[in-house]
Amino acid sequence: MSINYIAESDWVPEMDKVDQSDTRSKLHTWQSSVVSEMQVNPSAWAFLQPVDITEVPDYHTHIKHPMDLATLESNVEANKYETLDSFVADVLLIFSNAREYNGESSRYGKCATNLQKFFEQRLSDYKSRSSQNQ
């Protein structure tokens, strides 16, 4: 407030928080939207729920950080992802886990590749819109 013209501008520190929450809500809205879009994508069937360890008992031996679309959705609803990068990291984890456990050329690997392409296009669109709004 000691800087010239700040006092006259009626600026208060809370105004910065409003801008941050607006950015956060746009990110959160996009996260929710893209998760919903991925869940209805034809390539998403293998990633909708956590891997059932009764059907795949050695999964956790090979995959130390499991991730799936239901968990991703829960994390978004719980506001776990404060940054775009943290959200993207968990989305990409779904695909890398699928390829690591099943192989690139398996039906799971192919679904991971297809869904990743879909996600990367949505991500590119989001980044493009975000940079235009700044």
Type and span of the H or E element at 100: helix 84-102
CB under 8 Å to 77, separation ≥6 — which residues?
32
Residue 7 covered by a domain: no
Q: Would you say residue 37 lies in a domain?
A: yes
- At 18 the pLDDT is 45
Q: CA-to-CA distance for 69 and 83, rounded, in angstroms?
A: 18
pTM exceeding the 0.85 threshold for the entire prediction? no
For residue 8, tell me if it sits in a domain: no
Residue 1 lies in a domain: no
Residues 6+ apart with CB under 8 A from 35: 69, 72, 73, 76
Residue 10, SS3? coil
Whether 4 is covered by a domain: the verdict is no
Ordered per-residue pLDDT tens for the chain, 134 residues: 555 555 566 556 665 554 445 555 899 999 999 999 999 999 999 999 999 999 999 999 999 999 999 999 999 999 999 999 999 999 999 999 999 999 999 999 999 999 999 999 999 999 999 888 76
Closest to 68 (Cα-Cα) out of 76, 127, 54: 76
Please measure the distance between the N-terminal and C-terminal CA atoms of the chain and give it in whole angstroms.
Answer: 26
Residue-number span of the structural domain to which 25 is assigned: 13-132
- What is the count of structural domains for the chain? 1
8 Å CB contact between 87 and 76: yes
**Nearest partner of 50 among 30, 64, 71, judged by Cα:** 71
Residue 2 domain flag: no
In this structure, is residue 69 part of a structural domain? yes
Q: In this structure, is residue 121 part of a structural domain?
A: yes
CATH at residue 32: 1.20.920.10
Q: What is the pLDDT of residue 65?
A: 98
